[in-house]
Amino acid sequence: MWKGGNQEAVIEGSGGELGGPGSWGLQDAAGLLARASLPIMFPWPLPLGSSVLTVLLGALTSLFLWYCYRLGSQDMQALGIGSRAGGVSGMPDVCSQTGSRGSGDPGEGHRAEGLVSRRLRAYARRYSWAGMGRVRRAAQGGPGLTGGTGILGIQRPGLLFLPDLPSSPFVPRDAQRHDVELLQSSFPAILRDFGAVSWDFSGSTPLPRGWSPPLAPGCYQLLLYQAGRCQPSNCRRCPGAYRALRGLRSFMSANTFGNAGFSVLLPGARLEGRCGPTNARVRCHLGLKIPPGCELVVGGEPQCWAEGHCLLVDDSFLHTVAHNGSPEDGPRVVFIVDLWHPNVAGAERQALDFVFAPDP
């Protein structure tokens, strides 16, 4: 039972320390509550050991924050190359401006090479190098990034060369059986789509909607995917071709090396000495309209398209395309899709999709 006491004693402290001796009563509750609400004050200055520990913790925190800032800034610099590293996309025909005929600046290739290497290393820091032996050798500056001359110097990718990747100018169709069969079965629908967007290709009238300016005389193209980015208006106008693209397993649809669309070559047009940007891809040519006199030479090996059939080409080899037919024969028309090289592993594809991701 609580005994009555003096409220002033509680506040003044004559036996009123909490837990100490004294007489407490219900009338002293207000004073107790007032004391309980007072802030707890530590003695100052702190003991020497506590001061040293505080300074040490502050220094470690500052060092950690500085390290995070530097790491983040390096990653952002490596990830910020965007179109500068991946923008050497090539167009969906051998009309590509990319390859051995560059800008003429000898330092441009070295700058792009350094940017790609940094971005690959940024990917490895974020994930790992597991399963990416060829990509790692390319990033380390070995016979990788534009450093390999390939077979007898006829394979010269303009941007990325993966070492030890089996290469030949023409790839067997069985290497991409699913995608080849899907495209060949879609031949009637894709041909109808071309008929819906075709024009006279005279060059005397403004280009119809969706057609790109010719990269060379007599070379026209309409792209459904350009540098890994879908072209919505063209895809809507070509539903059969777009549906076929969506069903492919190896289409480079999330990579700036990936293009897809119609390629038209007029009679008399000829394009020589071209090399694609990388040996990590294979171009699938589906013949739509193939008049006499058309020829494709890749790595010194001549081939010709056939209507309704696919031809798999490694365009990192030096190649030439020509339409030697007469004007009465009409244009050569193929539907070209960029596929992953069949020997590029899944981990390597993910890394290259990261490095050469299209601009947002």
Show Cβ contacts of residue 36 under 8 Å, excluding neighbours closer than 6 positions: none
Nearest Cα neighbor of 281 from 24, 90, 8, 33 is 90
Q: Which residues of 115-129 are buried (b: 16+ CB within 10 A; e: fewer)?
A: bbbbbbbbbbeeeeb
- Written as six digits, the tokens of 100 are 């051995």
Picking from 78, 94, 57, 60, the residue whose alpha carbon sits closest to that of residue 169 is: 94
Q: Mean pLDDT in each 10-residue stretch from start to end of the chain (360 residues)?
A: 41 39 52 52 56 82 75 45 38 40 44 72 81 78 49 78 89 95 97 94 82 88 95 96 97 95 94 88 97 92 94 93 90 97 91 87
Q: Which residues contact 269 (CB under 8 A, 6 or more apart)?
A: 216, 217, 218, 219, 322, 323
Q: Which two tokens stand for residue 46?
A: 């702190």
Closest C-alpha to 250, from 320, 185, 168, 312:
312
In three-state secondary structure terms, 17 is: coil
Which residue shows structure tokens 């080899």? 317
pLDDT at 25: 56
Domains of the chain: 173-199+213-356 (2.60.120.330)
Which amino acid, one-letter code, is at 96? S
Distance (Å, rounded) from C-alpha 357 to C-alpha 252? Answer: 10
The tokens 């003991």 sit on which residue?
Answer: 47
Model pLDDT, residue 253: 93
Give the H or E element holding residue 335.
Answer: strand 332-340
Q: How far apart are CA 173 and CA 181, in angstroms?
A: 9
Secondary structure class of 359 (helix, strand, coil): coil
Distance CA 246, CA 243 (A): 5
Residue found by looking up tokens 């208006």 in the block:
233
Residue among 53, 8, 51, 50 at smallest CA distance from 28 = 8
Q: What is the structure's pLDDT at 261?
A: 97
Residues 219, 312, 140, 346: is their CA dihedral positive or negative?
Answer: positive
Q: Which amino acid is present at 163? A: P
Tell me the C-alpha to C-alpha distance, in Å, between residue 175 and each of 117, 166, 180, 217, 304.
Answer: 29, 12, 9, 34, 19
What's residue 349's pLDDT?
Answer: 92
Closest CA to 219 of 95, 58, 81, 101: 95
Q: What's the pLDDT score for residue 47?
A: 60
Q: Could you give the angle at the alpha carbon of 240 between the alpha carbons of 236 and 246, nearest 5°?
A: 85
CA dihedral 225, 230, 236, 239 (to 10 degrees): 60
Residue 305: predicted pLDDT = 94
Are 269 and 289 a contacting pair, CB within 8 Å? no
pLDDT at position 222, please? 96
Q: How far apart are CA 249 and CA 232, in angstroms?
A: 20
**Residue 68 to residues 24, 63, 121: CA-CA distances in angstroms?**
57, 9, 17
Whole-angstrom distance, CA of residue 112 vs CA of residue 144: 13
